[in-house]
Structure 1
Amino acid sequence: MPGPQVGVGAVVVKQGRVLLVQRGRPPGIGLWAIPGGRQRLGETLQQAAEREILEETGITIRASTPIYTCEHIECEADGSVRFHYVIVDLAAEYLGGEPQAGDDASATRWVAWSELPGLPLNATTRTALATLFPAEAGPYVLPMQDE
């Protein structure tokens, strides 16, 4: 079995809204998440984040430093591991473009903090936003104890 894969994401905030994608493929199909994807061999974290965000959202960014890390392990009913990702989210500066779903995203848009309660967020995104932006997201996005 191959080892864990590195997933990169970019936390992009523009005019008080955060860029999110609705996942079009597993893991987390249908859930809203910080955009990102797998790092390729030879790519820096920043290069991977910039490529993935452009592919998924049509947005051009400049990725900088890691600001949140976590692990996502999803198992089958028999206990075998289906997915194992180490996820590194980077801070990113918005450079240009309009949200347009592509690659494995079924939708993408800028989301106001007050809209977050109405969106089905994946657990990783919920925790990341509550951790990184407690004043903005805290009242709206609380980590769930059972995830």
Structure 2
Amino acid sequence: MGGIARDGSGRLLMIRRARPPSAGTWSVPGGRVEPGEDDPAAVVREMREETGLEVAVGRLVGTVERPGPGGVVYEIHDYEVTVRGGELRAGDDAAEARWLTPGELRALPTAPGLLDALAGWDLL
């Protein structure tokens, strides 16, 4: 699951992945749901770990499927989030975290399928 945050200028909060899969590419902050968590709790935890920000989780924006190792397919649920506090910093498996305009994001290396998904959800 992932968290999609926008600021007052319409920029999207993105992280540059530090580890596989897609190390070095830009993506929505997020990760795996841990045992005992539901999606919203996992989004709050992952956003805090990867960006230093505290968020409130909103509606489900969309779902994508991505291939994983050994033929596994991951189903990823991306949620709208609102930043409620914290200080932006890269953490956990994020090498970098920043607010990007759609134009800036299009000019960077992104995780496979990211731009298509965001465009399909009218976020670019």
TM over 0.5: yes
Aligned counterpart, 1:103:
92
Offset, 1:52:
0.3
Q: Name the % identity.
A: 37
Query: Is 1:86 the equivalent of 2:75?
Result: yes
Q: Which residue type is aligned with residue 34 of structure 2?
A: R
Offset, 1:13:
0.4
Structure 1: state its 5+ residue gaps.
1-7, 138-147
Higher Rg of the two aligned structures: 1
TM-score (norm 2): 0.91
Q: Which runs of 4+ in 1 moved over 3 A?
A: none
User: CA separation in 2, counterparts of 1:36 and 1:74?
Assistant: 15
Aligned counterpart, 1:116:
105
Secondary structure of 1:85's match?
Answer: strand
Offset, 1:96:
1.8
Aligned counterpart, 1:3:
none
User: CA separation in 1, counterparts of 2:117 and 2:87?
Assistant: 24
Higher relative contact order (CA 8 A, sep 6+): 2
Q: Which residue type is aligned with residue 2 of structure 2?
A: G
Offset, 1:123:
2.1
Q: Which residue type is aligned with residue 56 of structure 1?
A: E
Secondary structure of 2:6's match?
Answer: strand
Q: Which residue type is aligned with residue 114 of structure 1?
A: G
Structure 2: state its 5+ residue gaps.
none
Q: Which moved more, 1:33-42 or 1:109-118?
A: 109-118
Query: Is 1:10 the equivalent of 2:3?
Result: yes
Query: Is 1:48 the equivalent of 2:48?
Result: no
